[in-house]
Amino acid sequence: MDIKAVLTALAAIALFLLIRIRDRKKYGSQEGHIAIDTNRSGIDAALSLLNETFHCPFPHYQIPDEIHMILRREPRSEYGLQLFLQSIAQHCDYHRHQLELHIYNQEEGAAPGRISYRGGNRYVIELHMAADCRRETIMAVLIHEFCHFYLEQHGIGYEVTRENEILTDVSSVYFGFGNFMRAGYRPSVETGSGNNHLYWVGYICVSEIDYAEAVCKKMAEDNL
């Protein structure tokens, strides 16, 4: 029997149960029901702020098949991720600046993603991801960094860093990337250097993404 495989499976089961318990505590266990939660008001406030500028949530983003195929074959492909970045910018109808992307191995203490101005018309997004990081997580982090940039270009943000990060995650749902954030922000058990570890990114959990999507759907219906 492969002990390593057994331990990985047990860790995955434990993670699944922890997520279910957490989400039930936060949102209730009834299917399709979302109970009142302390984060709910913050998500509502973020969506209202976004709606003041953009007036209606964006339609759901559809990744082009050719980009999806590249990233399925090679999740860390800079070429594929650059195409993905261009595609999400086009989805948001943003063409004003040149956006570049580079991906590196994860550094101790480094944030998974960051964006910097490099002069002229050029901005660079850097991703620092573990070698075994899931494709979905890499894509979600890239979307988060683009949304940081997009919000900044529209002068939208909070002074408190954590509140601004939550706003950015909520905006990714508002801009139509909810499915990608849900897939990428789901915690996973990953193997690195022979050890299993729990890995996750993001400032809102999957249930909060679900709630934000429900509010966005209602906003869109009200704008019809």
> Which pLDDT score is estimated for 89?
97
> Which pLDDT score is estimated for 36?
33
| Confidence at 189, pLDDT banded by 50, 70, 90 | low
166 neighbors 46 (Cβ within 8 angstroms): yes
Q: How far apart are CA 83 and CA 100, in angstroms?
A: 10
Name which residue leads in pLDDT, 86 or 192: 86
187 neighbors 199 (Cβ within 8 angstroms): yes
| Confidence at 23, pLDDT banded by 50, 70, 90 | very low
> Which pLDDT score is estimated for 22?
45
Mean pLDDT of 7-13: 56
* pTM of the shown model: 0.80
Alpha-helical (H) ranges within the chain are: 3-27, 38-54, 65-73, 78-91, 135-153, 161-174, 178-185, 206-222
**Could you state, in order of their start, the residue ranges of all structural domains in the chain?**
3-222
Name which residue leads in pLDDT, 195 or 177: 177
Bridge partners of 65, per DSSP, are none
> Which pLDDT score is estimated for 180?
98
User: Could you tell me the CA-to-CA distances from 122 to 28, 100, 127, 208, 222 in Å, in that order?
Assistant: 46, 8, 17, 33, 38
Bridge partners of 114, per DSSP, are 126
Encoding tokens for residue 19? Answer: 């997520």
